[in-house]
Every structure is written in C-alpha cells, then in structure tokens.
Amino acid sequence: MKLFLSTALIFLLFLGCTSIDENRKPNIIILFADDLGYGDLTSYGHPTIKTPNLDQMVAEGMKFTNFYSGSPACTASRYSLLTGRYPVRSGFAWVLVPKSPRGIHPKEYTLAEGLKDAGYATAAYGKWHLGVTKPDYMPLQNGFDEYLGLPYSNDMLPPKWKDMPLIDGNDTIEHNPDQTLLTAKYTERALNFIERNKDNPFFVYLPYAMPHVPLHPGAEFNDSERGKYGDVVEEIDWSTGVIMDKLKELGIEENTLVVFTSDNGPWIIKDERGGSSGLLRDGKGSTWEGGMRVPGIAWWPGKIKGGSLQTERASTLDLYNTSLKLAGIDLPGDRPIDGRDISPLLFEKELSESDRFFYYGLGNKVFAVRKGPWKLHIKTYSQTGKDYFEGKLPLLFNLSVDPSEQWEISDDHPEIVQELQELIVQHQEQLKSEPTYFDQDQ
Ligand code: MG
C-alpha cells in the first residue's frame, strides 16, 4: 500500500510538473529604446558606449542583424509594433503632437488587448505617443492594466507646448517631471510588476523616453566616454540588466521572452546628441537603412540558443504575430496583419512566410520595398537635406553585399527592378480594398 501511494504521489507530482511547464504561457517583455541607432551598442560595434548587460543578452540569446522598426518615426513605429500593421493602415504617417485630435483607433486590436484576452497581466511604462486628447487613445483603454509614463516625446515641452504630464493610469501625477529620474522610475515599476505577477503570464512593454533628445541620464550615469548620449544608453543597459536579473532571481527566466529593440534610427541631425547608425546610411526620418534597421536582441534562456546570430529579416511588426502565437491565441481575422510569426527564426528553423517588407515614409507613402537581399527605393528623403544619388530613381541595392547602400545597381538588374516595382503596385492595389482605421471613422 505504501509503495502504491508513493508511486501514485510521484506520478501525480510528475503530471503536475509537466502540466506547469508545458501549459504555462511565456511571459513577454519588450524593451523599446527611442532613437537608438544600429551602431550604438557594444555588440553592434560602438567603440566607446559600454553596454555589458546587452552584451550578456546577446551572449545568452539571439542577435538580429536585419531587424527593422515599422517606421522611421516615433508614432507610426509604435503603432506598427502594437498592431502588427503597416502605419498606412492607421493613417499615422509620422508623429503626433500633444494637441493632435487623433489617436489609435478604438477598433484596433493591440498586442496588449490580445495578450489580455489570453489571460496575461499587462503593463506599459514609458513613452506612449499614440494619442492623448481622448481617454480612448490612452494605454488603459488599449489593453494595458497599468501605465506610467510621458504620453509623447520628451522634447514636447513648455514653452512650445503647454505641459509635459507624467501619467499614472489615466491620471496626471506630475507636470514637467525631472527627466533624470524617468528611466529609473520606469524600471522600478517594471520590476515591481514582474514580482507581483511572477505566478501568472504577464506582458511588459517598456518604451524608454531616451536616447531621444533632450538627454537626461540619471545622476549615477555620468562618465561615459561618449558623453551624455553614452550616459543615457548605458542607463538603459543597466535597466535591461536589472530586469534580466529579476527574472533569474524569481526563477522565471526560462519562461520569459525578452526582446530589446528601438523605435527608429538615430536622430543624426542632432550631431553629438544623436546616435549612430554604424555602417548604415542616414538615420531617423529616412527610409535608408539607418532610419529603420535597428538593434534587435531576443533572449529566452533554455529556448533561444545563446550566442546565436540571425541574419534573416525580421521587424517589430512580427513581434505581434509571434507573441500572440506563443500565447496560444489567434490573430484577429477581420483585418490584414502585416507581421509574421518569427518563432521559427528564434528557434533557428526556416521561415516559410512571405519575405517582403515595405518601408513607409513621410505622407504615408511607400518609399521602398525589400525582398530577400534586394531593396528598391522609389522615393527618398533625408532630414539632412542630402540627396545621395542626385535625383536618380528608382534605386536598387543588394543589402547582403552592400548594407551601406553605396553601390546602386538598377541598370544591371532591370528584371529585379521590374519585379519589385510590381510588388509595390500590387500592395497599393490591395490596400484599397482592405479595412483601415482612420480619423474619419471616429
Ligand atoms: Mg523615436
């Protein structure tokens, strides 16, 4: 009898363990820097900015070298990350200002709403920038249980703008807060939320206020060789480190996917206060590679192989499909979703879904398309005012051979130019028949 009972107990314990491991939905954390360039981390080649925690994340996880934001500008990029859709579907071409009457449409089904429907606790701490003039536009009305942050960019300050509120939930708790405390405040809230939710699935979206200008590092971050820009990046690196440490301390690191990336390329017209796109051309605001290709690091101990390098193309739009898939729920079926489930890439398997990516620039227009290594520009723009190829269009580059977009080869490959032009026309035709959620519906 004793033997039977202990065997039964072991069997039940075994059943219990496997059901916990196999049925537990993974926690998801997205760390989203603002205006951090492709070349601004040690692991992406910066010679003086020190990012040991992000280096460790790379050593224990996967580094993407062809990872894109959804737009070269803040609002449109955030929209794409949270909906898995190209910015054109929202009508957000660029950046909302504090008094803008527009915001994220209530019909959008955000990543937070999806994960909430899958039973997740959800929180956003940081820059929102998807509308502020109606309660409907704010995080708590878009799937987040908790919010603390600035509702728009940290340079939208008095006297040009009336006020910079720090919002907790739906309430303003401070006006024009001390920005040197922001990264620490967001991090502290995230750590607290993770601790409170360690026993159930959770989603944390942490869109840092910086290194968008003005640069306000915390008091302890004051000695980077790269000056204040380096200081704020090193503070974000610290934030990443304490979040990974917390997951390890709670023993939930093997059930948590952490992704670190940036909303767009560096603001290069800000000179020393802006970052670096490394070997890529141009920066924020442009659909040259430096405007949209950003660092992308994925970490999930025990699931993602440490030190792996992923050269396949992926984007922030893909985080939508991938996260919902991992949470075990279906994509909304009543609208087009432009992202892809990239979990096969995380686990080093082949991705079979379509490999095309449209670069949306100013005015909600397609500026370029990428398929495989080929990128065709049909429009270009740079905040620097430079026209690098003296008005020539279209422009073709092979990004595998030439990530810096130096050697224009459209004359050598007319058939590829034609194929990519047709892709753009098909995409634009298809858009006409698909639902978009614009202001006029509101
Ligand atoms: Mg930005």
Span from the CA of 289 to the centroid of ligand 1 (angstroms): 15
Query: SS3 for 20?
Result: helix
Choice among 46, 105, 129, 377 that is catalytic: 129
b/e 98-126 (16+ beta carbons within 10 angstroms → b):
bebebbbbeebbbbbbbbbebebbbbbbb
pLDDT at residue 439, rounded to an integer: 53
Give the whole-angstrom CA distance, residue 293 versus residue 266.
10
Q: Computed over its alpha carbons, how large is the radius of gyration of the chain?
A: 22
Domains of the chain: 26-346 (3.40.720.10), 357-433 (3.30.1120.10)
Query: Which candidate, 347, 345, 346, places its Cα nearest to that of 355?
Result: 345
Give the whole-angstrom CA distance, residue 273 versus residue 226.
10
Span from the CA of 36 to the centroid of ligand 1 (angstroms): 8
Please give the structure tokens belonging to residue 428.
Answer: 């634009």
Query: Which candidate, 356, 355, 377, 375, places its Cα nearest to that of 366?
Result: 377
- Catalytic: 129? yes
End-to-end CA distance of the chain: 70
- Catalytic: 17? no
CB 60 within 8 A of CB 306: yes
Q: Give the pairing of strands 395-398 and 374-377.
A: antiparallel
pLDDT at residue 350, rounded to an integer: 84
CB 127 within 8 A of CB 208: yes
pLDDT at residue 24, rounded to an integer: 87
DSSP 362: G
Choice among 46, 74, 105, 377 that is catalytic: 74
Span from the CA of 276 to the centroid of ligand 1 (angstroms): 13
Give the whole-angstrom CA distance, residue 122 versus residue 195.
13
Span from the CA of 9 to the centroid of ligand 1 (angstroms): 55
pLDDT at residue 236, rounded to an integer: 98
Span from the CA of 262 to the centroid of ligand 1 (angstroms): 8
Low-confidence ranges of the chain (pLDDT < 50): 1-5, 8-21, 440-442
Give the whole-angstrom CA distance, residue 363 versus residue 360.
8
pLDDT at residue 349, rounded to an integer: 86
**Residue linked to tokens 């209530």:** 106
Question: Omega into 135 within 30° of 0, i.e. cis?
Answer: no
pLDDT at residue 407, rounded to an integer: 98
Please give the structure tokens belonging to residue 18.
Answer: 């496997």
Span from the CA of 345 to the centroid of ligand 1 (angstroms): 26
**Residue linked to tokens 């059943």:** 15
Please give the structure tokens belonging to residue 298.
Answer: 């994925």
Span from the CA of 20 to the centroid of ligand 1 (angstroms): 39
Span from the CA of 129 to the centroid of ligand 1 (angstroms): 10
Phi, psi of 175 (to 5 degrees): -110, 135
Span from the CA of 32 to the centroid of ligand 1 (angstroms): 10
